[in-house]
Structure 1
Amino acid sequence: MASCSTSLAPESVNDDDIIKSQPYSFESLYQQQGIDQSWQQLLQTDDLKPLGTHTRHGSLGAEVDINNQLIETGPYANTPIDAVKRDMRLHTLGHPALDSKDFAKWSRWYQEDGNTQIFRLFKDEVNTSNKRKNAARVETFIPSQRWLPQLGVVREFGARFTVLKSGGCVAPHYCSIFQAKGNNVDHWSVMLRVDSDGALWFYPREDLSKRQLISKNAIGRPFDMKVLDDGLNYEMFIDGQSVGTGQWQRTKEIGFRWGIYVGRSAVPEDIIVLVTGASMK
């Protein structure tokens, strides 16, 4: 994996809304053909059985069509997903590391349209791959692009995010839509989170009281996010402006995850997040 030598110089954040785009209506960005079963209906099928175990069976959902012309703009618009070529993995309710060849079987939670990944969680859903309570998620990651911290070497993640629904992103955990995360459960350094009102937050690991409000309402407003991380220092940018820096020492491998992760909270409403052109350097 190539390295990025960009500086991690801190910048101040003012109280103004940092996202540059105005909101688009849900209907102008997102259409679907067919219906998605309720969680209660899905549990009556064999899609995730036996519960509490890893399954590769999958579950199909309604076919989603997004407005690529409005969503796929900016510096990441022309970056292809290339899930097979990049050996991408999918972590969803029924399995923590699905191969890209299996992605199509999990269209209830994950689909692709152009250069955009479509992540969805539905009301009342919970983790079924083990006994961990709640912990609903649908995230992608690339195991081969994890790295050990190296002095003077900065890694970069970048993508365009569009949050369409966030009613299920409730306290205490909200929804993480990006994590700089290592290979154990307590190894994350920084997250990008959205709450049930659509507010977007910078979340630092070392002191959660230093979290920063990026936007009071990100719903329907595509924005570009970039993170720089050298294994100790990290910095996040939204639409080209720094929104926060921090330090968290990592000694094991570091990677990036993106999609939807709910954690300890229940999911009282549906959640939809689009990620365009996810790339790493």
Structure 2
Amino acid sequence: MNKPLFLSLLVGLSFLHAASSEPLFKQKGTDPSFEQIVKSGKLPKGGNSKTGVTGSTISVDNRRVEITPNTKRSITREIKLHTLGNSAIPRQDFENWSRWYQEDGNTQVFRLFKGEENVHNARANAARTEAFSELNWKEGDWHQWSGTYTLIKPHGAAIFQAKNDVNDWSVQLNMNSKGDVTLNHRRGGDQVIAKDMVGKPFHILVRDNGKDYEVHLDGKEVGKGSYPRPAGKTNFRWGMYLGKNVVTQDAMIFVSGATVDGKEKK
């Protein structure tokens, strides 16, 4: 294990434990139900909304969430959003979609609400709030994503994917409603890599070259594999994606210091 990274996480966890009775965020305002939003016409079915939907403001306690050198890195700029109402939202429009995505300091806030589902096309359920890298690649050079997760309101969902636009994902990370984190290989068995992580930061690093990949948790390699992707291009996606599952309760996660092809700090 990367000893400096482990020690910085240990110090941060001790700090969080000491203040565990305090929430890691404050919320200003309220959020209407999904049914109310659909009735308002802000999310037209069968196409990408250009209007977006704003929501309550989440103020992250950055002092307690951004606790390691890597969490203090600036959020990568070259990203777009994929929500249930639009599949490719440019950065200049992020503020119009604050119901599902916000940034506070170096932390990204991803939210989903009970009963939500995809509306921009005919795919059933498929609720999501994801950032994805504008950088994409075919088999060849290695690329790297890293960021520190804090699960606030966990829900069964994929929270990271190396995703090819033709051949689908090669590897993904899933969480469940208890805050357990599973490494999901497209080829190979699943592996629980962390348990009971609600409110506890954990650092993920993924390397991918369009065929092979490696996954690291808190500085230690926890899995690797290979999945040929002869067509299309691969990029990194992170946030929450439920696929065919239903959103049974409100969900929220933080990702701090997310970078693409950035440097790891000790």
- How many residues are matched? 248
Query: Given the alignment of the two structures, is residue 147 of structure 1 paired with residue 128 of structure 2, yes or no?
Result: no
Counterpart of 2:25? 30
Cα shift readout 1:193-228 (whole Å, capped 9, x = no counterpart): 101221111110112xx1111122111111110011
2-structure distance, mates of 1:154, 1:59: 36
Query: Given the alignment of the two structures, is residue 101 of structure 1 paired with residue 92 of structure 2, yes or no?
Result: yes
Which of 189, 196, 199 in structure 1 is aligned with 2:177? Answer: 196
Q: 2:41 is matched by which residue type in structure 1? A: D
Query: Given the alignment of the two structures, is residue 130 of structure 1 paired with residue 124 of structure 2, yes or no?
Result: no
Counterpart of 2:150? 162
2-structure distance, mates of 1:205, 1:82: 27
The alignment's C-alpha RMSD in Å is: 1.8
Summarize the Cα distance change of 1:26–1:95 in structure 2 as closer, same or farther, 3 Å threshold.
farther
Counterpart of 1:254? 234
2-structure distance, mates of 1:149, 1:53: 32
2-structure distance, mates of 1:244, 1:233: 11
Q: 1:35 is matched by which residue type in structure 2? A: T
Contact 1:74 1:224 in 2 (8 A): no
2-structure distance, mates of 1:189, 1:244: 12
The offset of 1:92, in angstroms, is: 0.3
2-structure distance, mates of 1:233, 1:26: 42
Counterpart of 2:247? 267
More helix as a share of residues = 2
Cα shift readout 1:126-146 (whole Å, capped 9, x = no counterpart): 001011000000111122x11
Cα shift readout 1:49-103 (whole Å, capped 9, x = no counterpart): 2x121111111111110110111122422321253xx2x2110011100111111
> Secondary structure of 2:70's partner?
coil
Q: TM-score, normalised by structure 2?
A: 0.88
Counterpart of 1:178? 160
Which of 102, 107, 112 in structure 2 is aligned with 1:116? Answer: 107
Identity of aligned residues (%): 38
Contact 2:133 2:260 in 1 (8 A): no
Contact 2:153 2:250 in 1 (8 A): yes
Q: Identify unmatched segments of 5+ residues in structure 1.
A: 1-10, 12-18, 170-174
Q: 1:31 is matched by which residue type in structure 2? A: K
2-structure distance, mates of 1:56, 1:138: 16
Contact 1:56 1:102 in 2 (8 A): no
Cα shift readout 1:179-204 (whole Å, capped 9, x = no counterpart): 001113x4211101101221111110
Q: Identify unmatched segments of 5+ residues in structure 2.
A: 2-8, 262-266
